[in-house]
Amino acid sequence: MTAKTSSTNTMHIGELAERTGLSLRTIRHYDEVGLLPATSRTGGGFRVYTEDDFERLMVIKQMKPLGFSLEEMADILGILATPDSAVSEGSGTLAKFLDKAVHQRAKMVRNLAQADEFIQRLRGRT
């Protein structure tokens, strides 16, 4: 269900869940912890989200497998929402998050390689 409000495309939580591949429960949780507060609510209390909310949720979805805590995610989202000209103040923090993301990705690559080796071992036995 898509509603139009003041010429801005909006969507209800079900459409947001469908577009992102995340569950309603996960999106509600991100709302409750403040990572993705609904832009507004309908008269009936249903959450309403915008394209900006969709983009924010996609960033959260990208951070999740890298092991960032909810607090770290909030910090990163704050930095990413800051205009480029003002990021220099948080560049040390941004560099720290980048290092963590690179490290976690490398770890995931190693784990994937181990999984591939194991699968090959099993296939060799069939």
pLDDT tens for 82-125 read: 876 566 655 788 899 999 999 999 999 999 999 999 999 999 98
All domains in the chain, ordered by first residue: 2-125 (1.10.1660.10)
Does pLDDT of 6 surpass 80?
no
Higher-pLDDT residue of 120 and 126 is: 120
Identify any residues that bridge with 48 across adjacent strands, giving them in sequence order: 12, 40
pTM: 0.80
